[in-house]
Amino acid sequence: MITRTFIDRKEELGFLDSQNEDRPALAILYGRRRVGKTTLVEKFCSDKKHVYYTAPESNKKEQLKEAYEVVYEELKDELIKDLKHDWETLLRYLKDKDLILVLDEFPYIINADRSIPSKIQRLWDKELKYSNLFLILTGSSISMMEDQVLSPRSPLYGRRTGQWKLEPFKFINAKDFFPDRSFEEQIKIYSILGGIPYFLEQFDGQKSIRENIRGNILNKGSVLHHEVEFLMREEFREPINYYTILKSISQGHTKFSEIKNDTGIDKNSLSSYLSVLRNLHLIKRRTPITEKKSKKGRYHLEDNFFRFWFNFIFPNKSQLETKDEILLENIMKDLDRFVSFIFEDICRELINHEYGSFEVGRWWYREDEIDIVALNDRISRILFAECKWSKNKVGFGLLNHLQEKAEKVRWRNDDRKESYALFSKSGFSQELKEHAEGADDLKLYSLDVMKTVMNAP
C-alpha cells in the first residue's frame, strides 16, 4: 500500500477557507464513502483550533460520551466533566471558544437521535448564529445528507452558509497516486479503481497490476473485496433491485427499454431506481451531444471500480472461493478490452482540459457512433475524435471513417469549422504522422503526447 498523500483539492480547500472567513458558519460537506472527506477536513484544520469528532454507528448515549471525551482531550477543560450530556449543552459550551467543530458522519448522529436537526436549527436561530463557531457537518450517506440535511424539508434548510459535494478524482489527479508508474499503467490502474482516494491507496505502487488485483481485490480479507457490497448496504435498505440494474447495465443493456426487459422491473419503479443511482453518481445517462433533450439516452456505470466489480467479480463470485487463479487469468486476458471503454473517458477529460471553452460529449445516430464530439457555439467550432486502445498503430483508415461519420452530424452544417483528433495507445503509422504535420485541422495523441498535455499546468 502506498503512503497516504494529499493530492490537489484546491477548490475544496478554497471553499472551506471562504467559510472560515466570516463566523459563524455552518458548512455541509458530503460525498460517498472513501472519497476523502476526512483527509480534506483534517488538512484544512491542521493549523487551526478545532475539535474533530467522528460519530460511531451506535446509540445516542455512547455517541455523546465519546463526543465529550474528544472535546475534553482537545481543550483540557475540567468544566466539561460537569456538563449535562446532550448536544445542546455541548454546542452552547463550544459556541464562544472561537474554534472549528467538525461532526463527522453526521447521518449516524441522526440515526441515533432523529430530533438532532431540529435541535441544531433552534439553537442556531437563537444562539449559534450570533457566536464565533464554525460548524462543519460531514456525511458519507449521500441519500441521508440530501434528505435529512439539505432538503427543503429539513429543519436545517436555510441555515447552512455553504455546501460542497466531494467528488472522486478525475484521471488527471488520480494518476499522481502512482508517479513512478508508466502512463499506460496509470491508465490501467485508474480504469480498475477510479478516482476514490482510499481505493487508490490500496494498490502497492511497487507491485504489478496482476499482483494488486490478486492481493487487494480477489483476496477475501482485503478492503476492496467487500467494498461494493458494503456501500450498497449502506445506501439501500433493499439493494437486490439495484444489484440487478447495475449488473444489467454492466452487461451492455444501456437503453431504458433494454434494462427494463432484461431485469423485468416495471417502468415506474425502474425510473425511480435509475434516478437514485444517478444521484449517487454510480451511473450516468448520456445523450448525443447535439441533442439537448433527446430520448436516446443511454445508461453507463460512472464509477470505474463498480464497472470492474460488476464486470468481473459479481458474475463470478462462486469462483472466488476455489478458482480465484482461474478468475485472475480471465481478468488479465480481458483487461485491455475493459480499459478501452475507460480510455475514451480519459480522452474526453483531456479534451476538456485542453479545450476548456468546448462542450464535450459523445454522438450517435442509428448505427453510427463517434467517441468524442466537442462543440464551441461562440466560434462555431466542432471537433471530432476517435480513441483506440489496441496493439495496432492507427492509420488513415480510422481518420477516413471518422470523416465519413462527421458528415452525418447535424450541427451548424453551413458555417462550422471542423477539426479532428485521434488517440492511440500504440501510436500512428508513419504516413498518418507525416500527413498530420502539414494539417492544421488534425491532432494525433499518442500516450506520450497525452502525458505531456495532462501534466501541463
CATH number of the domain to which 417 belongs: 3.40.1350.10
Residue 457 has pLDDT above 90, yes or no: no
Give the domain-ending residue among 136, 165, 194: 165
The parent domain of residue 149 ranges over 10-165
CA distance 55 to 87: 13
Contacts (Cβ under 8 Å, ≥6 apart) of 290: 363, 373, 375, 409, 410, 411
Residue 58 belongs to a domain: yes
Backbone angles phi and psi of 233, in degrees to 5: -70, -35
CA distance 368 to 364: 5
Give the model's confidence band at 129: pLDDT under 50 very low, under 70 low, under 90 confident, else very high. very high
End-to-end CA distance of the chain: 28
CA distance 274 to 82: 51
- In this structure, the answer to whether residues 305 and 202 fall within a common structural domain is yes
CA distance 53 to 55: 6
Residue 2 belongs to a domain: no
Residue 109 near residue 103 (C-beta atoms within 8 A): yes
Closest CA to 373 of 341, 420, 339: 420
User: Model pTM?
Assistant: 0.91
- In this structure, the answer to whether residues 86 and 63 fall within a common structural domain is yes
**What pLDDT score does 3 carry?**
42
- In this structure, the answer to whether residues 296 and 183 fall within a common structural domain is yes
Number of domains in the chain: 3
Residue 75 near residue 97 (C-beta atoms within 8 A): yes
**What pLDDT score does 5 carry?**
61
Instruction: For residue range 253-309, list pLDDT tens digits in order.
Output: 999 999 999 999 999 999 999 999 998 889 999 999 999 777 889 999 999 999 999
Q: How far is CA 138 from the centre of its chain?
A: 17
Residue 5 belongs to a domain: no
Residue 3 belongs to a domain: no
pLDDT over 90, % of the chain: 86
- In this structure, the answer to whether residues 39 and 55 fall within a common structural domain is yes
CATH number for the domain harbouring residue 59: 3.40.50.300
Residue 364 near residue 296 (C-beta atoms within 8 A): yes
Give the domain-ending residue among 290, 309, 335: 335
Lowest mean pLDDT among 129-133, 225-229, 292-296, 451-455: 292-296
Residue 251 belongs to a domain: yes
- In this structure, the answer to whether residues 371 and 441 fall within a common structural domain is yes
- In this structure, the answer to whether residues 195 and 157 fall within a common structural domain is no
**What pLDDT score does 23 carry?**
79
Residue 239 belongs to a domain: yes
Q: Share the mean pLDDT of the chain.
A: 94
- In this structure, the answer to whether residues 266 and 189 fall within a common structural domain is yes
CA angle, 178 then 180 then 185, to 5°: 65
Residue 242 near residue 218 (C-beta atoms within 8 A): no
Instruction: For residue range 160-169, list pLDDT tens digits in order.
Output: 999 999 999 9
- In this structure, the answer to whether residues 181 and 157 fall within a common structural domain is no
Tracing cell 450517435 back to the chain, one arrives at: 364
Tracing cell 476517435 back to the chain, one arrives at: 386
- The whole-number average pLDDT for the span 60-81 is 95
Give the domain-ending residue among 165, 185, 206: 165
Lowest mean pLDDT among 107-111, 178-182, 236-240, 292-296: 292-296
CA distances from residue 44 to 28, 85, 138, 164 in whole angstroms, order as listed = 14, 28, 14, 14
Residue 216 has pLDDT above 50, yes or no: yes
Instruction: For residue range 6-24, list pLDDT tens digits in order.
Output: 788 999 999 999 999 877 9
Residue 397 has pLDDT above 70, yes or no: yes
Report residue 154 as a C-alpha cell.
Answer: 429539513
CATH number for the domain harbouring residue 267: 1.10.10.10
Residue 37 near residue 31 (C-beta atoms within 8 A): yes
Closest CA to 373 of 365, 266, 381, 382: 382
- In this structure, the answer to whether residues 433 and 393 fall within a common structural domain is yes
Residue 437 belongs to a domain: yes
Residue 59 belongs to a domain: yes
Report residue 274 as a C-alpha cell.
Answer: 435509475
Contacts (Cβ under 8 Å, ≥6 apart) of 272: none
- In this structure, the answer to whether residues 14 and 105 fall within a common structural domain is yes
The region that residue 366 occupies, defined by phi over 0 for left and psi between -120 and 50 for alpha, beta otherwise, is left
- In this structure, the answer to whether residues 110 and 193 fall within a common structural domain is no
- In this structure, the answer to whether residues 278 and 390 fall within a common structural domain is no
